[in-house]
Chains A and B, each alone.
Chain A
Amino acid sequence: MTKADIIENVYERVGGFSKKDAAQIVEAVFDIIKVTLEEGEKIKLSGFGNFVVRDKKSRIGRNPQTGDEITISARRVLTFKPSQVLKNALNS
């Protein structure tokens, strides 16, 4: 499934606007989500899951090829935690 399929669904199921409008709306929804996450704020979508921005400390890692020790710098990462509802839906 790609964004185009989602746009198609929104156009067919919600209706009331052109396909071009549907595309713009879906694009806007994902843009708002991205900007919010970029600002470090989490997104909680009940029934689906939470997108959480986490700060990771720097740590010592290894180059698995050479075995050399390297420092993995501190970073901010995005994780997705599926909701129990979604997990149940996938396993029913």
Chain B
Amino acid sequence: MTKSDLIEKVAAQLSLPKGKAEQIINCIFDSMEEALKAGHRIEIRGLGSFEIRRYKAYEGRNPRTGDPVGVNPKRLPFFKVGKELKERVNAGATDAPAPAASADREPEKGDTSRPAAAVDPTGKKPRNESKA
């Protein structure tokens, strides 16, 4: 779903003119961008939270040539999914068990094919975010 799909859906669902829906959605994400720029944390109940992570300068490499390249310190937004949505997304995977696809392939529109994911017995959160 792209931003324009979202605009259309919001307009249809709330009986708003498309232009108005567009203004609203732009305003929402502009507000969020402003907050992040100011270094503020964003917390959207039911969705998750965004925060700014600061990364130090490091020496990286051009993966093609192997040449060392200096990487400047940077700030990146980090999104942490909320508990409720995390569970809902994972539960979505159990709805239609189907042959497994490559783990890297993103599911296509409406594709819920994936083996059922059981509840994690450890209670541990999967960690896949990059470190500073």
> How far is it, in angstroms, between the C-alpha of A12 and the C-alpha of B59 when the chains are bound?
45
Residue with the highest number of chain B CB atoms closer than 10 Å, among A16, A41, A91: A41
Q: Is the interface of B mostly helix, strand, loop or mixed?
A: mixed
- A23-54 CB mask vs B (1 if < 8 Å, else 0) is 01110111011101111111111111101111
Residue with the highest number of chain B CB atoms closer than 10 Å, among A3, A39, A57: A39
Could you tell me how many residues of chain A have their Cβ less than 8 Å away from some Cβ of chain B?
58
- CB distance A26 to B28 under 8 Å? yes
Pick the contact of A34: B13, B32, B88 (CB < 8 A): B88
Binding site for B on A (CB under 8 A): 1-3, 5-6, 9-10, 13-14, 16, 24-26, 28-30, 32-34, 36-49, 51-57, 61, 63, 70, 72-80, 82, 86-87, 89-91
